[in-house]
Amino acid sequence: MKMTALTRPAASAGPDDRDPLCWAWEASQEPRRAARTGSSLALKSVLLGSGVVAFLFGAGFITFVATLDRYEREPGGRADGIVALTGGAQRIGDAIDLLAKGYGRRLLITGVNERTGRDEIARLNPGQRRLVDCCVDLDHRARNTIGNAAETRRWIERNDFRSLIVVTSNYHMPRTLLELERVLPQAEKLPYAVVHENAPTEAWWKHPASAKLLASEYVKFLAVWVRSRIGQDPAGIAAEPPARRPGAVRVADERPSR
């Protein structure tokens, strides 16, 4: 009978029994695996952070648009003065109507083009010539919202006013009030928003031009809010006489506020 030799099974190779070349190759992969893991975590962090920022921006924008209608009402009371920021004839017309109703003693129209005078204002507001001549002041210096606020401050101080009705477009009102609060923290400010037919806030997502305008204004509002929190004060720059762009801009034209 043929005998079969019993053989002892080979023991499993331990860590020290591996091929040195294989061990060296695996060891060389560890930094690469760690780098890939770190890159993956960094990418996830960036994506998560971007998502949070996008969510906050979107939620803030929706809130911004939803609260604009609270400015669309007549002032709750009378004030010493009325200020209207140029950007459309409707703003000026509504401000003159408020003046005629006795809501304020004087009206400042700020940001008026150099070529626009009292005659043009009176022509665009028939029947109000006497009021325009006696009680309306025109500012030709301001070229943006910062300048509007600086010139309004000068006007209020010159007339020793303590309260103000602010007339501008509804989408522009939040940023205007922030700028005025920065330079006139002690003055009472009553908003009166003008709603322009070319810039509806209802169903704005159906109107690409309106959505673009509102988004742009929201970004500008955020910039002013941040600037006010970190203490920057560009009023000194705004007080300098600006070099106006050539060409007349009709008061009747509605254009996005800068």
Instruction: Spell out the domain ranges in the chain.
Output: 68-233
Contact 182, 228 (CB under 8 A): yes
Q: How far apart are CA 246 and CA 252, in angstroms?
A: 18
pLDDT of residue 226 exceeding 60, the answer is: yes
Give the count of alpha carbons within 13 A of 89, CB side only: 13
Averaged pLDDT for residues 17-30: 56
pTM of whole model > 0.85? no
Using DSSP's 3-state secondary structure scheme, residue 191 falls into strand
Out of 70-74, 156-160, 252-256, which region has the weakest mean confidence (pLDDT)?
Answer: 252-256
Per cent of the chain over pLDDT 90 is: 41
Tokens of 170: 């509804």
pLDDT tens digits, 109-127: 999 998 889 999 999 888 8
In sequence order, which ranges of 104-207 are alpha helices (DSSP H)? 118-124, 129-135, 145-159, 173-183
Q: Looking at mean pLDDT, say which of 48-62, 155-169, 183-197 comes out highest.
A: 155-169
Determine the Cα–Cα distance for residues 17 and 40; give it in Å rounded to an integer: 34
pLDDT exceeds cutoff 80 at 169: yes
Distance CA 96, CA 22 (A): 88
Phi, psi of 218 (to 5 degrees): -65, -40
Least confident of 21-25, 120-124, 200-204, 225-229: 21-25
Q: Tell me, what's the pLDDT at 6?
A: 47
One DSSP character per residue, 161-185 reads --EEEEEEEGGGHHHHHHHHHHH-T
Q: pLDDT band at residue 28, thresholds of 50, 70 and 90?
A: low
CA distance 99 to 108: 10
Question: Which pLDDT tens digit goes with each residue over 71-103?
Answer: 878 788 899 999 999 887 789 999 999 999 999
pLDDT at 240: 43
Which two structure tokens, joined as six digits, stand for 241?
């006489």
Taking 60 as the threshold, does the pLDDT of residue 184 lie above it? yes
Q: pLDDT tens for residues 31-73?
A: 666 666 667 777 777 777 777 778 787 888 888 888 888 887 8
- In this predicted structure, what is the pLDDT of residue 195? 82
CATH code that applies to domain 68-233: 3.40.50.620
Left if phi > 0, otherwise alpha if psi is -120 to 50, otherwise beta: which for 4? beta
| Rounded-to-integer distance, Cα 205 and Cα 222, Å | 20
